[in-house]
Structure 1
Amino acid sequence: MDAAPSSPPSSQDSLPLSSDALLAQLTDWGLPYQLHEHVPLRTVEEAKKVEAEMQQPGVSSLKIKNLYLRDRKKRNYLISVEQDRVMDLKALGKEIGAAGLSFGSSDRLMQNLGILPGSVSPLAMINGVPKGVAFYMDAAAQEVDVINMHPLVNDRTVVITREDFLKFLERIGCAVVWI
C-alpha cells in the first residue's frame, strides 16, 4: 500500500511567530475571536468571495486591506484601511508626513512584520512594534463592532471585536494613528 502523499508545510511554519502561536497568545490574554479557515486570499476580490460566511446579522464589521510601505527615509509603515477605499500613496504620504511612499519588499516584510506577502495584517504589529513599524488605521474602525483580519497567514481570518483588537494593540505597546 502506498503512503499517502504528505501535504505541503503550512506557510506559518516559516514564520518567526506562527499563526497558531499568535492565536494561543490572544487566548492567553483573554481576547476572544472567531477563526475562519479558507483558501489562501491574496486580493480584496478573493476575500469578498469568502466574507459572506463570516458576516453576522446585526453586527457591523470592517473588512480591511493592508499596505506595508516605506518612505524615502527608510521608515516602515503598516496602513490598514477599509477594503474598498482607493489609496493614493502621494496623498497618503502628505497626510501622514511621509514623503516618497512605496511598497516594501517581501524581504523587508518578513524582516519587519514577520509575514509573507498576501498575509499583511494589523496582527503582524506583534512583530512590527519592536522593529519600529508605525501603524495607521482607517478611522472607520472606531465605528464598527468587529474587524476581520488575517492571523499572520492568508488562509485564515479572525473576526475580533473592536474593543478586543484595541486591547491587543495596547498589550503589544502599539500606538495606532487614525486616518
Structure 2
Amino acid sequence: MAAEVKKGIDTTKNPIPFEMAQIPGPEMAKTYLPKVIGAIIRKAKRPLLVVGAELFDDPVMFDKMIEMGKMGIPIAATAHSVKGFVDRGYLENVYQIGLHPLTNFLRFPDWKGLDGQGQYDVVIFLGIYYKFANGMLSTLKNFNRDIKRVSIDRYYHVNADMTFGNLAFNPDDYHAAVDEVIAAMKK
C-alpha cells in the first residue's frame, strides 16, 4: 500500500467577497494555492510585506511575518503593529508607516520605497482590517497597475491580483496556508 500523501491547503475555495456588498466591477481577484503565491513572492525583485493591527488578534502570525522578513522582504508595519515586532526584538527591516500615506506613495511609479532602493513590484498584504485593506488594494488596482497586489490574509480580497479564498473561520487551515507560502518562498 502506498504511503498517504498529505495534500496542502486548498485556498482556492470560497472566493466570495467577505462583505456581501463588496463587488468591485468586472475585474475580481483570482484565488491561488499557497505554493503559487510563494513562488511569485520568491521571484519578485522588490517585494514589500504590509502588515496591520489585526495581527494582534492572532499573535502567532507575527512570528511568521518575522520569518518572511528574515528572507529579506521589507515589512511595512501599519497602525500600531510595529509593537508586535518590537516585543519580539525584530526590527531589522521593519518600517513604521501609516496605511494611507503608504497607499499614496505606492501609487507613484517613481517613488523610491521605504529603503530608498526604488518602487516595489509585488506588495503582500496581511493583517489589515478588511475595509482598509480593500481601499488600499482598490487604489493600487486603479492607480498603479505595475504593482502585483497579493493578499495572504484570511479573507478573500476582491481587489487583489492574487488572494486566498475566505479562511476566516478556520484558523488552522489559514496558518497552514501561510506556512505553505513561506515554505514555497524558501525553495
- Which of the pair has the greater relative contact order for Cα pairs under 8 Å at 6+ separation? 2
TM-score computed with the length of structure 2 as normaliser: 0.31
TM-score by length of 1: 0.32
The structure whose residues are more often strand, as a share, is 1
